Structure 1
Amino acid sequence: MVRIGYTMMTEQAGPRELVSHVVGAEGAGFDFSVISDHFSPWLESQGHSPYAWSVLGAAAQATSRIPLMTYVTCPTFRYHPAVVAQKAATMQILSEGRFRLGLGSGENLNEHVVGAGWPAAHVRLDMLEEAVDIIRRLFTGESVSHHGAHYDVENARLWDLPDAPPPIGIAVSGPSSCELAGRKGDLVIATEPKRQLLEQFDEHGGAGKQRVGQLPVCYDTDRDTAIARAHDQFRWSLGGWKVNAELPGPVGFDQAARHVRPADVAEAIPCGDDVDAFVEAVRRYEEAGFTEVALVQIGGDQQQPFLDWAEAKLLPALRSSL
């Protein structure tokens, strides 16, 4: 059976609200949770972007059952990989083993803020691979010195280590990232239900590993209201990864999505309260081979109605159908 997760979307809610939302998701019966890690929202209408790692620490203390995961952190620009290793080890301790470290090659939107430039995609993947190697070495507890193509680490050691290191997930969007995820990841992460991505992941060592997808949804008892909200806050998502990874800020995303119509969003994102439409959207991930799907309810002030509906109708329907 596909496990159903809940997304703490930092771009659409403040830190205290995000913690409250994941507490609600645990109570509603979601199987796991993930959190985005951005410096900026995609669109100004979303209006938020708190520090994900502080939210995670609070969430670990406010919950007791639901697993937590970054979806995803970029360990190459804003954060040095040694610092990511320390944060992840601490989160695994705070959560008592409920944490997974999702990593990706990043987006210009968030990483440009440190002024390090934005290299080509193949360079970003090389940086990610080196970062994963550093993080895994530090998880062993050994003292690490490293002088590589992109990073230097000098006599670094993690002094607080969990009993077991957090599993590492790697986000994919094409053949090169799938190869990296297959070789270096414990699980694979994607935002589209593409079977080809998972097949490429399997070809390079991913067979038998977990595969986690993410699906935006917009619950509302009024479908037109849901479509309008999804168009206002999530029209950027129809641009595709190759475009979205390169744009530097909300103005760019707004311009790139200016021709996206509400009807386009309604076709791509399940909107309203038709349980069958939501189930069918999740089913596409199941049929592609995903073992887990994290739902994103669009609208920071619409989380509690969604959680109530999910507990009463959506989660039972998903579990009886998938």
Structure 2
Amino acid sequence: TGDAWPRKEVRQARLEECVSVISRLLDGETVSHDGLVTVHEATLWEVADPKPKLIAPAISVPTAVRGAAWADGLATINQDPGTLRDMLSAWDDAGGADHKVLQVHVSWAPTDAEAYELAYDQWRSNVFSPPACWDLTVPAFDAVSKEGISAEQIHRSVVVSSDLSELASRIHALAELGFDAVYLHHVGQDQRPWLEAAGDRLLPQLTS
């Protein structure tokens, strides 16, 4: 603790060491490991059956390809459809497991203006593509100031609409790129209005 934010390649290597340790623990082993992480005689006294899946998080093609070597599935977020197609294709070409999930960031409110303002207020620090997003270490960067973020960037990163039918159509289009499951993340702080609207009027459109 207290170290500087590590480079992307160091974080990736650390993740892969942790994956190895966790996988062995889930197999019932007692694990010791010395590397970017240190583990001394770790043991799980109760092992889950079936063994939980270890899912690779990725928002770029190179990271997806690297994760295909070890993961039981791929998890990513809504991006440009072309980028998502490239990632899914690269994952498959690298021998990745047949389990792919997508998290979709959504901003819904009774009006489009309110939905946009909500996305802007709560999610403008999360609009950057790789490699910039890999190295944002604090939320106070000038890049996330009100002057630094465009409406186009917000709409690329968050599905913004007051129209639940439009949301359903856009979510369907993303799912049909080749994902097995879609997880919806509403970016607002007050979740109750969203959950009520989604439960009553959005989910029936997604499951029909």
TM exceeds 0.5?
A: yes
- Is 1:134 the counterpart of 2:134? The answer is no
- Is 1:206 the counterpart of 2:92? The answer is no
CA–CA distance in 2 between the matches of 1:127 and 1:144? 16
Distance 1:239 1:264, change over 3 A: closer
The secondary structure found in structure 2 opposite 1:164 is coil
Unpaired stretches in structure 2, ≥5 consecutive residues: none
Cα contact 2:56–2:75 (8 A) shared by 1: yes
Unpaired stretches in structure 1, ≥5 consecutive residues: 1-113
The secondary structure found in structure 2 opposite 1:314 is helix
Matches within 5 A, 1:256-275: 258-262=147-151, 264-266=153-155, 268-275=157-164
Distance 1:270 1:172, change over 3 A: closer
Give the aligned partner of residue 317 of structure 1. Answer: 205
Residue of structure 2 aligned with 1:233, choices 122, 125, 128: 122
CA–CA distance in 2 between the matches of 1:132 and 1:198? 21
| RMSD after superposition | 2.1
Distance 1:256 1:122, change over 3 A: farther
- Is 1:179 the counterpart of 2:68? The answer is no
Residue type at the aligned position of 1:304: R
- Please give the TM-score of this superposition, normalised by the length of structure 1: 0.58
Distance 1:267 1:203, change over 3 A: closer
Distance 1:177 1:132, change over 3 A: same
Give the aligned partner of residue 178 of structure 2. Answer: 289
Matches within 5 A, 1:40-79: none
The secondary structure found in structure 2 opposite 1:216 is strand
The secondary structure found in structure 2 opposite 1:198 is helix
1:115 CA drift (Å): 1.6
Give the aligned partner of residue 41 of structure 2. Answer: 155
Distance 1:294 1:258, change over 3 A: farther
1:271 CA drift (Å): 2.8
1:285 CA drift (Å): 1.9
CA–CA distance in 2 between the matches of 1:267 and 1:246? 20
1:236 CA drift (Å): 2.2
1:220 CA drift (Å): 1.2
Matches within 5 A, 1:92-107: none
Distance 1:270 1:151, change over 3 A: closer
CA–CA distance in 2 between the matches of 1:307 and 1:125? 35
Q: Which moved more, 1:263-272 or 1:152-161?
A: 263-272
Distance 1:263 1:185, change over 3 A: closer
The secondary structure found in structure 1 opposite 2:75 is strand
Give the aligned partner of residue 138 of structure 2. Answer: 249
Percent of aligned positions that are identical? 28
1:254 CA drift (Å): 5.5
CA–CA distance in 2 between the matches of 1:151 and 1:248? 21
Distance 1:125 1:267, change over 3 A: closer
CA–CA distance in 1 between the matches of 2:145 and 2:135? 11
Matched length: 204
